[in-house]
Amino acid sequence: MTMYEIITKKKRGIELTTEEINFAVDGFTKGEIPDYKVSAFLMAIYFKGMTPDETAALTAAMVRSGDEVDLSGIPGIKVDKHSTGGVGDKTTLIVCPVVAALGYPVAKMSGRGLGHTGGTLDKLEAIPGFNINLSGDEFMEIVKSTGICISGQSKNLAPADKKLYALRDVTATVDSIPLIAASIMSKKIAAGADSILLDVKTGSGAFMKTLEESRVLAETMTDIGNNLGRKTEAVITDMSTPLGAMIGNTLEIKEVVAILKGFRSDLNKDLVEISLVLAGKMLELAGAGNETKCLKLANEVLESGKAFEVFKKMVKAQGGDVRVIENPDLFESSAFTETIYAPEAGYINEMDSEGIGMAAMLLKAGRETPEDKIVYSSGIELLAKTGQKVEESEPIAVLYSPAKWLIREAKEKFLDSVRIGQQAPIERILVY
């Protein structure tokens, strides 16, 4: 077979065989098939799509291109969680300690943030000394000793995905559902978990802006996981408004610590609710019981403080300074702050997640390119959320910045992202 034949077949909308997909992925990964042929292949997929069998075969080929993590040495059912990304989304740092506190091991590999979305690894690295660059043996040992470890991905985990994504990025084929799903699931499958829970975000701050797009992506990814022998489920959750009250790495760690210690408020109730739903679903996948029982277990362990103790153990095991977790006031603070006030009285009808995420990025809390340096103490603290009634000149947010000149543009972006009206908005649906 040749790439010309494979491209022609896909261009005509004919289903490819597993052998043909393997030929394309293996050849490209090894450098035997040039970029221009694979670019044509990706564009054919973009326009003609892929069947569930094709998408599963593509994912499996990407998995086989590199290392696969073997978690068989850890007893019990290992459940992984993946979020498609958002603003203020620190659910992993609440959910995983809850699940581990109930005796179900969590061996998780996470990623960094880019653009308006935050990354779990960036948040963890805001903890002084925290090490996300672990060897396979170190990773396994920490899971066995503490029940939980969150690390960076191995450099050789699904290398075909890295090469394909770089090509998609310059050929306008990033926004193809089969290619997105295969990219995400190849890394999840290679990470070795028995079951996978997918948190698919929907709304302005999500990659998928509409509920229908999010549903198609969720169905495509669950089909892949189940086709490849991993019990996979998805939950579609709201990302029209930032989750919780904090956006930015150190700020989000502080919020996580407060919630793990039992603090709940109107500003973080959305974060707590979604975290409990996700923890309950992970426990279900691990065999802890039915939905009602697992949600109750998750709530009890969060309220008891046991999840906080597990979080501290993980921080210590990965070299982090536990003192800042016990006393968040010890975190390095931002050099400059500015309070933002409501420009008029009324109800906050919208807090556009993407816009607010971009405002945080302008403060150096996120990165525009992979090479950008993050300032961990930067970010935004929300003092009001969507649906809340505010008075004119009432404080609605605080900006944290390493330099005064960064605040002006971030403030404009933030205010452009907030809509105030005279009618109360319809109550948000958090879990679809």
pLDDT score of 411: 97
Task: Please write the tens of the pLDDT for every residue from 80-126.
Answer: 999 988 899 999 999 999 999 999 999 998 887 766 777 899 999 99
What is the Cα–Cα distance from 416 to 118, expressed in whole angstroms?
20
Mean pLDDT of 32-53: 96
Mean pLDDT of 35-50: 96
* Active-site entry in 78, 162, 187, 312: 187
Contacts of residue 432, defined as CB under 8 A and 6 or more positions apart, other chains included, come to 202, 211, 214, 236, 237, 238
* Active-site entry in 82, 90, 201, 312: 82
Task: Please write the tens of the pLDDT for every residue from 274-296.
Answer: 999 999 999 999 999 999 999 99
CA 295 to chain centre: 21
Taking 70 as the threshold, does the pLDDT of residue 155 lie above it?
yes
Taking 90 as the threshold, does the pLDDT of residue 34 lie above it?
yes
Task: Please write the tens of the pLDDT for every residue from 390-409.
Answer: 999 999 999 999 999 999 99
State yes or no: is 296 an active-site residue. Answer: no
Task: Please write the tens of the pLDDT for every residue from 319-331.
Answer: 999 999 999 999 9
* Active-site entry in 80, 89, 122, 161: 161
Q: Is the pTM of this model over 0.85?
A: yes
State yes or no: is 162 an active-site residue. Answer: no
State yes or no: is 26 an active-site residue. Answer: no
Give the chain's domains with CATH numbers: 3-49 (1.20.970.10), 79-326 (3.40.1030.10), 332-421 (3.90.1170.30)
| Angle between helix 291-304 and helix 92-101 axes, rounded to 10 deg | 100
State yes or no: is 82 an active-site residue. Answer: yes
* Active-site entry in 90, 168, 313, 413: 168
Percent pLDDT > 90 in the chain is: 85
State yes or no: is 168 an active-site residue. Answer: yes
* Active-site entry in 110, 154, 183, 240: 183
Taking 90 as the threshold, does the pLDDT of residue 65 lie above it?
yes
Confidence band, pLDDT 50/70/90 cuts, at residue 169 = confident
Return the bridge partners of 114, or none. 117
Average model confidence (pLDDT) for the chain?
A: 94
pLDDT score of 115: 67
Nearest to 157 by CA among 47, 281, 52, 64: 64
